[in-house]
Amino acid sequence: MSESTAASSATDRRGTFAEVLLAFLRLGMTSFGGPIAHLGYFRAEFVARRRWLEEHVFAELVAVCQLLPGPASSQVAFSIGLSRAGYPGALAAWIGFTLPSALVMLAVAYGVDWMHGPRIAGVMHGLQLVAVPVVAQAVWLMGRRLCPDWPRRAIGVGGFVVTLAMHSTLGSLTAIAFGAIAGAIWCEDRAVAPEAPSVSVPRRARVGALVAYVVLLLLPPVIWVATRYQPVALFSAFYRSGALVFGGGHVILPLLREAVVIPGWVSDAQFLTGYGAAQAVPGPLASFSAYLGAVMGPAPNGLVGAAIALVAIFLPGSLLVLGVLPFWNEVRNWRWMQGALAGINASVVGLLAAALVNPIWPAAVLSWTDAAIALAAFGLLIGPKVPPILIVLVTALTSAILAQPLR
């Protein structure tokens, strides 16, 4: 059996709730570095290691989720779980990827201080540093497969320049739009493989998801004005934050601050404390919502408040994936879309490369020692093909040792 046939058969095999849960639970405990870094971890796990997805299918999922409001990396996780094991897989992906960081943020809310000491700080810095080689590996390998000729390489470079120049969520959207237009013009004869993200959602469920997205955005504020029922206000505030943000990650922080600090539910000091802790934990930054729901003044707070906030902030993005992704599977088969898809996939490579340059590298690489560790880890990933989980452990240990000389 050829390598391509084996990959195809592995991709066609359906998974289980437990399989998806365990895969994302591991990622939820090791995916440091923010939403773009998460995409590097996902690619290493589900394209290279498990072969659940082909390279171009993964790039399409990334592009679609970048175009939708909501926490993008969590939407990619949700999409992968959905394509692997249907609705149970989508739920398993969300639980596994979100639970570790949510539990850590709850511990911070209840006063557990776990970041003292130079060695702990060194470990945490090492875990942030590992995002550099992981994303660099994703850019290198995706570039080789999705930009194999000069038109697509030019589109990838264009996506890189646009994303880096604009340095905002608008930059990512513009880069993908540029890739689609350029691909439709230059890559019509370079159509991508016919395989699409394997997502089967009945039409009623698609429409229901999109209707629910709008209703849950517009109706709770009306109910709050009529009843002054605080749980409704809590749900509405976090749902709105998740529904109206593009790209997720740090972009969501101004919306969260407006939602909880301005009305006086959370103090600025509490918000900044939680935000600082959220920088040091793996998984989606939107898990910060669990901390905010737990520490806020008006009830419901504590565990109940954390649960409401956590579900509310991730729900709109998940509803959009259910409603839009099956439609994407139909649109992608239009003739002109095949060239556009080739361009979109190339522009995603440029988008990831731009994120590696800024903000991942300057945020993680603070010294020449850091640069040497990152480059050595990158060499291990693309040379001997050391598993990313081992790179995470070695990088964290090395950073901890260098943080303070052994006595």
User: Distance between CA atoms of 124 and 277, rounded to whole angstroms?
Assistant: 11
pLDDT 10s digits, 328-365? 877 777 766 778 888 888 898 998 898 889 878 988 89
For residue 295, tell me if it sits in a domain: yes
Does pLDDT of 269 surpass 60?
yes
Q: How many domains does the chain have?
A: 1
pLDDT at 249 over 70: no
Q: Is 35 inside a domain boundary? A: yes
* Residue type, position 154, single letter: A
Lowest-pLDDT choice from 97-101, 112-116, 132-136, 242-246:
112-116
Domain that holds residue 210: 15-120+148-192+202-362
Percent share of the chain, pLDDT over 70: 88
DSSP 143-154: HHHH--SHHHHH
Mean pLDDT, the chain, as a whole number? 85
Check residue 191 and give its pLDDT. Answer: 59
Amino acid letter, residue 278:
A
pLDDT band at 252 (very low <50, low <70, confident <90, very high): confident
Is 218 within a domain? Answer: yes
Phi, psi of 70 (to 5 degrees): 120, 170
Higher pLDDT, 197 or 16: 16
Please report whether residue 401 resides in a domain: no
pLDDT value, residue 407: 40
| Max mean pLDDT range (49-53, 234-238, 255-259, 377-381) | 234-238
Q: Domain for residue 311, yes or no?
A: yes
Three-class SS state of 404: coil
Q: Specify the range with the lowest mean pLDDT, choosing from 40-54, 267-281, 306-320, 323-337.
A: 323-337
Q: Which residue has the tokens 């090492």?
A: 126
Query: For position 42, what pLDDT does the model report?
Result: 95
pLDDT of residue 10: 40
Distance of CA 281 to the CA centre of its chain: 14
- Please indicate, yes or no, if residue 330 is contained in any of the structural domains: yes
Q: What are phi and psi of 245, to 5 degrees?
A: -110, 140
Q: Is 82 a domain residue? A: yes
What number of other Cβ atoms are within 10 A of residue 14's Cβ? 11
Minimum mean pLDDT among 4-18, 216-230, 282-296, 393-407: which range?
4-18
Query: pLDDT value at position 19?
Result: 96
DSSP label at 268?
A: H
**Least-confidence region, from 150-154, 276-280, 319-323:** 276-280
Cα torsion 19, 21, 24, 26 to 10°: value is: -90
Nearest to 155 by CA among 143, 139, 137, 165: 143
For the segment 36-48, the average pLDDT, to the nearest whole number, is: 91
Which of 78-92, 140-154, 162-176 has the lowest average pLDDT?
Answer: 162-176
The answer to the question of residue 135 being in a domain is no
pLDDT band at 8 (very low <50, low <70, confident <90, very high): very low
The predicted model gives 201-223 an average pLDDT of 93
Whether residue 60 contacts residue 197, with contact meaning beta carbons closer than 8 Å, is answered with: yes
- pLDDT, tens only, 80-110: 999 999 999 999 999 999 999 999 999 989 8
